[in-house]
Structure 1
Amino acid sequence: MALKRGALVILPNLIGEAAVKENLPDAVEKEVASLDGLIAESETAGRRFLGHFIKDRAAQVPIAVFTKKTKDEDIDFYLEPIQKGEKWGLVSDAGLPCIADPGSKLVMRARKVGVKVKALPGPSSIMLSLQLSGLSGQHFTFHGYLPKEHPPLIKKIREMEKTMKATGATQIMIEAPYRNGSLLNLLLENLADDTLLSVMWDLTLPSEGGMTESVATWKKLAKPQLDKRPSVFLIGKE
């Protein structure tokens, strides 16, 4: 049953050009059909998402663009129609909103002002990668995007490995697809040979793949071509 009026609904999106029926629960279609508006990272991505479910009126649904550049003082603007009784959805460009995504600021504010919030389950490249890696899912830390400049990036890699060895917690990170190859090389150059490195790419797509091997083994194998392919990197131990 669709949520009552006056609510913010956190909606899952596809990871890449995957099949909707195979990757998103039926409840998403029901919720989208009853939305008064959608909050998205871009209007193009928002219209594409709506088109999966309400193609005949996807162009008529109001879309409010919310990004990491949205100022804190502007957040209440997005909640005004919800506080007046409307139901709006929150969607990310891919996967789950609020995970490596600016939507968390909106949800926090919604809770503070008493707006009802609901989240629907869906695909997460981070969780799928952790499941597929074989590394510890009991304790883990997600670091998001790492520093772009090499000196702080190398420092961060070594800090994550030190933490992993001390606590056993799997360390998870992502990178812009066009820099995946560079990150893989830096990980192999700076991690200890006995550290386990897992890389998962193109999750939920026909081209999905992944490897979990020691750094020493990685250095002996042909490296996968990761540039321009959404990937998740994990380091851990047995």
Structure 2
Amino acid sequence: VGVISEAGCPAVADPGADVVAIAQRKGLRVIPLVGPSSMILAVMASGFNGQSFAFNGYLPIDPAERTKRIKMLEQRVYTEHQTQLFIETPYRNAKMFEEILRTCRPQTRLCVAAGITCKEEYIRTRMVQEWKKHSLPDLSKVPAIFLIYK
């Protein structure tokens, strides 16, 4: 049995983890194969702390809960000096982008890494206050990773 992911990394924030868990319970051999991981590539391209980072998967869909989580992650950036990564489904990328710009401090840096290794690849790092001065890219059809750091 093989598990392949079109973006990200199989079994990391991916339903493939359930398949791997079943295989582990059955005592089957699990062989992770080397390949590009959009999370690691995003950290590499962001210019943020690569010594300490946390992948937080998907944030809550509920707007109030999502705002609360973004604030909590931003606080970790400043208190723990840790890069915070999270992902969103393409059709909700614009809302996530706007929420980050509304919620985070002006000096917080935001990297948006979308479609990594694909033709439509987009990777850009700016402070929140700088993002607000530019038109936002259309990420409605592209898997994206959002990273924040101080």
Which position in structure 1 is the counterpart of 2:95? 182
Deviation at 1:91, TM superposition (A): 2.4
| Aligned-partner residue type, residue 169 of structure 1 | Q
Match of 2:3 among 90, 94, 99: 90
Which position in structure 2 is the counterpart of 1:156? 69
Looking at structure 2, the residues matched to 176 and 208 of structure 1 have their Cα atoms a distance apart, in angstroms, of 16
Over alpha carbons, which structure has the higher Rg? 1
Which position in structure 2 is the counterpart of 1:228? 141
Does structure 2 conserve the Cα–Cα contact (< 8 Å) formed by 1:97 and 1:104?
yes
Looking at structure 2, the residues matched to 221 and 177 of structure 1 have their Cα atoms a distance apart, in angstroms, of 20
**Moved >4 Å (runs of 4+):** none
TM-score by length of 1: 0.59
State how 1:194-213 maps to structure 2 within 5 Å: 194-213=107-126
| Aligned-partner residue type, residue 36 of structure 2 | P
Ranked by relative contact order (alpha carbons within 8 Å, sequence separation 6 or more), the top structure is 2
Which position in structure 2 is the counterpart of 1:104? 17
Q: Does 1:147 align with 2:34?
A: no
| Aligned-partner residue type, residue 93 of structure 2 | N
| Aligned-partner residue type, residue 226 of structure 1 | L
Looking at structure 1, the residues matched to 140 and 23 of structure 2 have their Cα atoms a distance apart, in angstroms, of 37
The size of the alignment, in residue pairs, is 150
Does structure 1 conserve the Cα–Cα contact (< 8 Å) formed by 2:56 and 2:86?
yes
In structure 1, runs of 5+ residues without a counterpart are: 1-87
What fraction of aligned residue pairs are identical, expressed as a percent?
39
Deviation at 1:129, TM superposition (A): 0.9
| Aligned-partner residue type, residue 153 of structure 1 | R
Does structure 1 conserve the Cα–Cα contact (< 8 Å) formed by 2:7 and 2:143?
no
Which position in structure 2 is the counterpart of 1:192? 105
